[in-house]
Amino acid sequence: MNAAHIARTAIYAGSFDPPTNGHLDVVRSACRLADRLVIAVGIHPGKTPVFTPEARMEMLREVCGPVAAEEGAILEVITFDNLVVEAARKSGAGLLIRGLRDGTDLDYEMQMAGMNGTMSPDIQTVFLPASPRVRPITATLVRQIAAMGGDVSAFVPPAVLARLKSRFPS
């Protein structure tokens, strides 16, 4: 990085319970836009996740680290329990990455981008469309299928699949 280049930091926030191939797809695209990508694992007191925040962070480092390295980006994984714009500000991110699967996502994400933009006009929301092969994947459906003993190997990286199998032995 030369002196004329200003490092661009992006934040990609979510629950990542579990990390899916859809998340990985967004991470790959985000690493092409940013020099540094901060993946922020949200902790919500009202939710009972399948995996602890630490386990989700470990899986994200394991599956996203090589992707970031391949794209030439620095990867950091953190947790947050406040507003995503606060996590972005704290991590020095000027870009807020959001993945889009379909029009339903777009409607919701446009509302969120408007609210976040009002609270933090200096943080720009960037929408990244999911690749066609990962568009139907949601972490919620992956959790439900895994809990019922279904095969989720097409939807998650192998390291995540191993964790799901140990969490939900069939």
The answer to whether 84 and 45 have CB atoms below 8 angstroms apart is no
Give the DSSP H/E element, type plus range, for residue 40.
strand 36-42
Q: What is the pLDDT of residue 5?
A: 56
Reported as a single tens digit per residue, the pLDDT across 106-118 is 999 999 999 999 9
pTM: 0.94
Q: For the structural domain made of 9-167, what CATH number should be given?
A: 3.40.50.620
- The residue extents of the domains of the chain are 9-167
Q: What is the pLDDT of residue 25?
A: 98
Tell me what the mean pLDDT of segment 67-89 comes to. Answer: 97
Q: Is the pLDDT of residue 140 over 90?
A: yes
